[in-house]
Amino acid sequence: MKFLTFKKAILPLVGSIILLFSGCVKDDFDQPPIYVPHYTPAYKITPITGLQTLLGGGSFLEITNDTIIIKGVVTANDESGNIYKSIYIQDNTAGLQVSIDRVDMYNEYKVGQHIYIKCKGLFLGTYGGVIQLGYNNAGAIGRIPDAMVNDHIFKDSLPGPAPMPELIDVATDLTGKISKLVKIEGISFPDAGQAYSLAAATTDRNIADAAGTPIVIGGNNFVLRTSNYASFRASLLPSGTGNLVGILGQYNGTYQLYIRDLNDVMGFAPDNSITLLNEPFTSTLGGFTQYSVTGDQVWHWATYNSNTYAAMSGYSGGTNLANEDWLISPSMNFTSHSGILMKFTAAMKFATQADSSMRFYISSDYSAGAPTTATWKQFRVSSLPAGADWTFVPSGDIDLSATGVTGSNVHVAFKYTSTTSVAASWEITNITVKATH
């Protein structure tokens, strides 16, 4: 009975305390103040071009001068995964790659963030011909160690608007544009419909003009370079003509563009075509089959420098050998489709087009086995490699509707021949067949 009396006495007191404290709680909490970083340099700012000039004609240099401080705005970071352990900055004189041994830097150095870099104790060096700011890695340019970053890189204010890219014409002088954010208008992709990058390796895709001709700068194809770790790597390159924004890079004379994400790919018309065949030969011959009529050499899957392809050569053991070998597509249904276009890319060496080592056929009655069991119609491809090197050449659109072959069981085939006099080496990849309706 005493316990019940105590409960009756204490409960009103507890209720009063709760009401007292609840009356002191505000409905709206005060927001904490926003921290705005600010940095005041101790010395006059050195323009990025002035920093790069320190390297002179060398390839590696330690910065020992206290007064070398640069300022720039972040133009690209690692948010999409297409750029790894680097950020790009630029001022009104040049762009610069800053190599840092840190991941997820987009949380700290957002696009549009202004930063200062105290350069004393850091290193300048070149990689593939491009100047980088980083650190010493066994006498070559490496990344700034994570523990040193906060002693050298300082944010100033909150991130502002993303910098506007500089519109460039790749046919003109590109001096001073490396590592800058640029925009290129009126381009197309010969590999439209293929993934930006293969799953196994960083991939180069040719950038072409509006007519589909690959852009060549200094003797090398201009490429879109995409990491296989990029969040958008499996997305497909658009067809048609549009514009690209990205960081302009270079590697041993080959100009490269790195997009930050798919927002940098603009103005391309949506691809409403119907895909009947798409074979990049990622790891095997895919749906294609090979048939050897004569010779021991056969079509096979191969890869080199991240390119994957079907390969065939009659050259073996230091000898040219006689061969006839067919690479035959899976069956395609052309019924109820029109505007059927095929394209592929090919490389060839050790022969010329006059040797007719490769011919192209289409059939509506092939089933399996020897190609002689079917009726084949030959068609021409206007754009093929000349045989001088291993450069992949896009075929352009091949109008299969013009062949008159139709039906529900259509195959295309690549027929390779070699002799004891001439044995070309062929590489075929990125074969697509699409219908407009």
Identify the CATH number of the domain in which residue 236 sits.
2.40.50.140
Q: How confident is the model at residue 403 (pLDDT cuts 50, 70, 90)?
A: very high
CB 358 within 8 A of CB 416: yes
Instruction: Kindly state whether residue 356 falls inside one of the protein's structural domains.
Output: yes
- H helical segments located in 36-192: 48-53, 149-152
In this predicted structure, the answer to whether residue 43 has a pLDDT above a threshold of 60 is: yes
In single-letter form, the type of residue at position 375 comes to: T
CA neighbor of 386 nearest in space, from 426, 422, 348: 348
Task: Note down the domain range covering 251.
Answer: 166-269
Q: How confident is the model at residue 28 (pLDDT cuts 50, 70, 90)?
A: low
Q: Are residues 152 and 280 in the same domain?
A: no
Which two tokens mark 209? 């003009």
Instruction: Kindly state whether residue 7 falls inside one of the protein's structural domains.
Output: no
Question: Where a domain ends, among 126, 156, 186?
Answer: 156
Question: Where a domain ends, among 249, 269, 289?
Answer: 269
Q: Are residues 322 and 260 in the same domain?
A: no
Q: Are residues 171 and 284 in the same domain?
A: no
CB 195 within 8 A of CB 236: yes
CB 309 within 8 A of CB 302: yes
- H helical segments located in 191-259: none
State the Cα–Cα distance between residues 289 and 300, nearest whole angstrom.
Answer: 9
Identify the helix (H) or strand (E) that includes residue 226: strand 223-226
The predicted pLDDT at position 27 comes to: 52
| Backbone Cα Rg of the chain | 31
State the Cα–Cα distance between residues 239 and 143, nearest whole angstrom.
Answer: 38
Q: How confident is the model at residue 30 (pLDDT cuts 50, 70, 90)?
A: low
In this predicted structure, the answer to whether residue 315 has a pLDDT above a threshold of 60 is: yes
Which two tokens mark 124? 């300048």
Q: Are residues 185 and 290 in the same domain?
A: no
Q: How confident is the model at residue 390 (pLDDT cuts 50, 70, 90)?
A: confident
In this predicted structure, the answer to whether residue 173 has a pLDDT above a threshold of 60 is: yes
Instruction: Kindly state whether residue 146 falls inside one of the protein's structural domains.
Output: yes
Q: Are residues 289 and 424 in the same domain?
A: yes
The predicted pLDDT at position 2 comes to: 41
Q: Are residues 93 and 197 in the same domain?
A: no
Question: Where a domain ends, among 223, 249, 269?
Answer: 269
Q: How confident is the model at residue 4 (pLDDT cuts 50, 70, 90)?
A: very low
Q: Are residues 359 and 385 in the same domain?
A: yes
Percent over 90 (pLDDT), the chain: 73
Percent over 70 (pLDDT), the chain: 92
In sequence order, which residues have a C-beta less than 8 Å from that of residue 266 and are 6 or more positions away?
242, 243, 244, 245
* pTM, to two decimals: 0.69
Q: Are residues 334 and 428 in the same domain?
A: yes
The CATH number linked to 55 is 2.40.50
Instruction: Kindly state whether residue 150 falls inside one of the protein's structural domains.
Output: yes
Instruction: Kindly state whether residue 142 falls inside one of the protein's structural domains.
Output: yes
The CATH number linked to 350 is 2.60.120.260
Mean pLDDT score of the chain, rounded to an integer? 90
Instruction: Kindly state whether residue 415 falls inside one of the protein's structural domains.
Output: yes
Q: Are residues 314 and 415 in the same domain?
A: yes
CA neighbor of 325 nearest in space, from 343, 315, 313, 317: 313
- Cβ atoms < 10 Å from Cβ of 320: 17
Instruction: Kindly state whether residue 32 falls inside one of the protein's structural domains.
Output: no
Q: Are residues 284 and 347 in the same domain?
A: yes
Phi, psi of 262 (to 5 degrees): -70, -10
The number of domains in the chain is 3
Polymer length in residues for the chain: 437
Identify the helix (H) or strand (E) that includes residue 12: helix 2-22
CB 350 within 8 A of CB 428: no
State the Cα–Cα distance between residues 200 and 432, nearest whole angstrom.
Answer: 21
Q: How confident is the model at residue 394 (pLDDT cuts 50, 70, 90)?
A: confident
Instruction: Kindly state whether residue 85 falls inside one of the protein's structural domains.
Output: yes
Q: Are residues 370 and 411 in the same domain?
A: yes
Q: Are residues 265 and 285 in the same domain?
A: no
